[in-house]
Chain A
């Protein structure tokens, strides 16, 4: 199984900050990586697929990069509605696996 490791597990930030979340795969997954945002009590929301492609309707202050084993989600200027938990997920091979999540707090 491919293990997905996110860092940090939580971070404190302020509105306007640039935030970077890392995701590392235990083996190469090409660009078969997605990012999700989840707010308390809500379903996850897709932000990025294929490592760097923004889902329709997702603000442009979100961006993704990376390939192989190391990936990054960047929020260029944190907005109040961006405080949430973020997950990465690989879909290169089965079982499909998620990272443990990164909670972005004030």
Chain B
């Protein structure tokens, strides 16, 4: 079964850090671009970052540049998002998704930034 499973979300204070993980199974992870997409409570979808197959290309939405870092470990079929200097406006459900057209989605992990 094709599957993406996120983990690592939680409650963090403003200015804090968090590392999200996404475990892939059921497809050839190393052949796909991978992305992070978020959704603030009651809001629409926002692309956050993506990374190419070997990790040599990375792109970010402007609002997270310099604070978030996307990475992957193809040997572990895993995608990561290291989030630093977190702000209240980063509060959202974070999804990992495959490709640039987001063919496969995980179930999401909630990140809450609050004091």
Residues on A lying within 8 angstroms of B by beta carbon are 32, 34, 36, 38, 43-46, 49-50, 55, 87, 89, 91, 94-101
- Chain A's closest residue to B105 (CB) is A43
Q: Once the chains are docked, how many angstroms separate the CA of A44 from the CA of B103?
A: 10
Given contacts A95-B61, A95-B62, A46 and B47 within 8 Å (CB-CB): no
Check B103–A98 contact: CB distance below 8 A: no
Min CB–CB distance A46 → chain B (angstroms)? 5
CB pair A97–B47 under 8 Å, yes or no, is: yes
Closest A residue, CB atoms, query B108? A43
Contacts of B50 in A (CB 8 A): 96
Q: A43-B95, A44-B95, A91-B100 are in contact. Are A98 and B44 (CB under 8 A)?
A: yes
Besides A43-B106, A46-B102, A46-B105, 17 new A-B residue pairs in contact (Cβ under 8 A), listed by A number: A32-B101, A36-B45, A36-B102, A43-B105, A44-B45, A44-B102, A44-B105, A46-B103, A49-B103, A89-B101, A91-B100, A91-B101, A94-B59, A95-B62, A97-B47, A99-B44, A101-B44
B contact residues around A32 at 8 Å (CB): 101
Partner of B44, one of A46, A55, A100: A100
Please encode chain B, from 33 to 47, with 1 for each CB lying within 8 Å of some chain A CB and 0 for all others. 001010000001111
Of A36, A43, A94, A99, chain B has the most CB atoms within 10 Å of the CB of: A43
Q: Are A43 and B44 within 8 A (Cβ)?
A: no
Query: Which residue of B45, B59, B104, B105 contacts A89 across the interface (Cβ within 8 Å)?
Result: B45
A29 to chain B, nearest CB (A): 12
Contact yes or no, A89 B102, CB < 8 A:
yes
Residues on B with C-beta less than 8 A from A97 are: 47
Taken together as a complex, chains A and B put the C-alpha atoms of A38 and B97 apart, in Å, by 14
**A46 contacts B104, C-beta separation under 8 Å:** yes
- Which residues of chain A are near B13, meaning CB under 8 Å? none
Q: Which chain A residues border B85 with CB–CB below 8 Å?
A: none
B45 touches A46 (CB 8 A): no
CA distance A35 to B40 in the complex (A): 19
Contact flags B49-84 to A (C-beta < 8 A → 1, else 0): 010000000010110000000000000000000000
